Amino acid sequence: MAKIGQRFTRTRKIIFEAIEHFDKPVSVQDIFSYLKKQKEEIDLTSIYRNLELMKKADMINTILFGEGKKRYELKNISEHHHHLVCEKCGDVEDIEMQEKSLLKEVEKQSKFLIKKHNLEFFGICQNCQ
Protein backbone atom coordinates (compact mmCIF):
# COMPACT_ATOMS: atom_id res chain seq x y z
CA MET A 1 0.00 0.00 0.00
CA ALA A 2 2.99 2.27 0.51
CA LYS A 3 3.42 2.82 -3.22
CA ILE A 4 0.09 4.70 -3.35
CA GLY A 5 0.68 6.54 -0.09
CA GLN A 6 -1.77 4.49 1.97
CA ARG A 7 -1.37 2.43 5.13
CA PHE A 8 -2.47 -1.19 5.47
CA THR A 9 -5.21 -0.40 8.01
CA ARG A 10 -7.19 -2.86 10.11
CA THR A 11 -10.14 -2.41 7.72
CA ARG A 12 -7.99 -3.30 4.70
CA LYS A 13 -6.56 -6.24 6.60
CA ILE A 14 -9.99 -7.75 7.35
CA ILE A 15 -11.13 -7.20 3.74
CA PHE A 16 -7.92 -8.84 2.51
CA GLU A 17 -8.51 -11.78 4.89
CA ALA A 18 -12.13 -12.10 3.74
CA ILE A 19 -11.07 -12.36 0.09
CA GLU A 20 -8.35 -14.82 1.09
CA HIS A 21 -10.91 -16.93 3.00
CA PHE A 22 -13.00 -17.59 -0.12
CA ASP A 23 -10.03 -18.58 -2.32
CA LYS A 24 -12.06 -17.61 -5.41
CA PRO A 25 -13.32 -14.35 -6.95
CA VAL A 26 -15.94 -12.78 -4.65
CA SER A 27 -18.39 -9.90 -4.85
CA VAL A 28 -18.66 -6.98 -2.45
CA GLN A 29 -21.83 -8.58 -1.06
CA ASP A 30 -19.92 -11.83 -0.40
CA ILE A 31 -17.27 -9.87 1.50
CA PHE A 32 -19.88 -7.87 3.42
CA SER A 33 -21.86 -11.00 4.42
CA TYR A 34 -18.72 -12.83 5.51
CA LEU A 35 -17.49 -9.92 7.63
CA LYS A 36 -20.93 -9.52 9.20
CA LYS A 37 -20.85 -13.20 10.25
CA GLN A 38 -17.42 -12.53 11.74
CA LYS A 39 -19.00 -9.72 13.82
CA GLU A 40 -16.98 -7.05 12.00
CA GLU A 41 -18.61 -3.62 11.89
CA ILE A 42 -18.02 -2.35 8.35
CA ASP A 43 -20.38 -0.78 5.83
CA LEU A 44 -20.59 -1.36 2.10
CA THR A 45 -19.18 2.08 1.28
CA SER A 46 -16.02 1.32 3.26
CA ILE A 47 -15.62 -2.00 1.48
CA TYR A 48 -15.96 -0.38 -1.96
CA ARG A 49 -13.55 2.44 -1.08
CA ASN A 50 -10.93 0.08 0.34
CA LEU A 51 -11.20 -2.33 -2.59
CA GLU A 52 -10.45 0.55 -4.96
CA LEU A 53 -7.37 1.48 -2.92
CA MET A 54 -6.25 -2.16 -2.82
CA LYS A 55 -6.70 -2.33 -6.61
CA LYS A 56 -4.54 0.79 -7.05
CA ALA A 57 -1.94 -0.80 -4.78
CA ASP A 58 -1.94 -3.85 -7.11
CA MET A 59 -3.01 -6.19 -4.30
CA ILE A 60 -6.18 -7.50 -5.96
CA ASN A 61 -7.61 -8.21 -9.39
CA THR A 62 -11.06 -7.10 -10.53
CA ILE A 63 -12.90 -9.68 -12.60
CA LEU A 64 -16.07 -9.27 -14.66
CA PHE A 65 -18.07 -12.33 -15.64
CA GLY A 66 -20.81 -10.47 -17.52
CA GLU A 67 -23.26 -10.71 -14.65
CA GLY A 68 -23.38 -7.01 -13.85
CA LYS A 69 -21.12 -7.04 -10.81
CA LYS A 70 -17.41 -6.97 -10.12
CA ARG A 71 -15.67 -9.78 -8.34
CA TYR A 72 -12.32 -9.53 -6.59
CA GLU A 73 -9.48 -11.94 -5.98
CA LEU A 74 -6.05 -11.58 -4.44
CA LYS A 75 -3.31 -10.93 -6.90
CA ASN A 76 -0.85 -13.79 -7.12
CA ILE A 77 1.79 -12.92 -9.65
CA SER A 78 3.31 -16.39 -9.65
CA GLU A 79 0.11 -18.14 -10.67
CA HIS A 80 -1.67 -17.15 -13.89
CA HIS A 81 -5.03 -18.85 -14.08
CA HIS A 82 -8.47 -18.75 -15.64
CA HIS A 83 -11.97 -19.43 -14.33
CA LEU A 84 -14.81 -21.92 -14.66
CA VAL A 85 -18.15 -20.19 -13.96
CA CYS A 86 -21.32 -22.17 -13.23
CA GLU A 87 -24.34 -20.59 -14.93
CA LYS A 88 -26.75 -22.20 -12.43
CA CYS A 89 -25.27 -21.57 -8.97
CA GLY A 90 -22.73 -18.87 -9.85
CA ASP A 91 -19.83 -20.76 -8.31
CA VAL A 92 -16.39 -19.90 -9.66
CA GLU A 93 -13.43 -22.25 -9.81
CA ASP A 94 -9.85 -21.46 -10.78
CA ILE A 95 -8.23 -23.50 -13.53
CA GLU A 96 -4.61 -23.42 -14.64
CA MET A 97 -3.80 -24.18 -18.26
CA GLN A 98 -0.90 -24.22 -20.65
CA GLU A 99 -2.16 -21.78 -23.28
CA LYS A 100 1.11 -20.78 -24.96
CA SER A 101 0.28 -22.58 -28.22
CA LEU A 102 -3.19 -20.99 -28.29
CA LEU A 103 -1.72 -17.50 -27.81
CA LYS A 104 0.89 -18.08 -30.50
CA GLU A 105 -1.82 -19.22 -32.91
CA VAL A 106 -3.94 -16.12 -32.18
CA GLU A 107 -0.92 -13.86 -32.77
CA LYS A 108 -0.04 -15.74 -35.97
CA GLN A 109 -3.54 -15.55 -37.44
CA SER A 110 -4.32 -11.99 -36.40
CA LYS A 111 -0.91 -10.27 -36.35
CA PHE A 112 -2.10 -8.91 -32.99
CA LEU A 113 0.51 -8.47 -30.25
CA ILE A 114 -1.12 -9.85 -27.10
CA LYS A 115 -0.05 -8.05 -23.90
CA LYS A 116 -2.39 -9.83 -21.48
CA HIS A 117 -5.54 -11.90 -21.56
CA ASN A 118 -8.41 -13.30 -19.52
CA LEU A 119 -10.18 -16.53 -20.25
CA GLU A 120 -13.36 -17.74 -18.59
CA PHE A 121 -15.40 -20.83 -19.32
CA PHE A 122 -19.15 -20.78 -18.66
CA GLY A 123 -21.19 -23.93 -18.12
CA ILE A 124 -22.69 -26.13 -15.43
CA CYS A 125 -20.60 -27.33 -12.47
CA GLN A 126 -20.57 -30.94 -11.32
CA ASN A 127 -22.85 -30.20 -8.34
CA CYS A 128 -25.54 -28.65 -10.59
CA GLN A 129 -25.45 -31.29 -13.34
In tens, the pLDDT along 58-73 reads 889 888 888 888 999 9
Q: What is the CATH number of domain 2-74?
A: 1.10.10.10
Residues whose CB is less than 8 angstroms from the CB of residue 46 and which lie 6 or more positions away in sequence, other chains included: 11
In tens, the pLDDT along 42-99 reads 999 999 999 999 999 888 988 888 888 899 998 874 467 888 989 998 888 888 888 8
Average pLDDT, the chain: 87
What does pTM read for this prediction? 0.69
Q: Which carries the bigger pLDDT value, residue 4 or residue 44?
A: 44
Residues whose CB is less than 8 angstroms from the CB of residue 124 and which lie 6 or more positions away in sequence, other chains included: 86, 87, 88
CATH 1.10.10.10: which residues of the chain? 2-74
Find out if CATH 3.40.50.150 is the number for domain 82-123. Answer: no
CATH 3.30.1490.190: which residues of the chain? 82-123
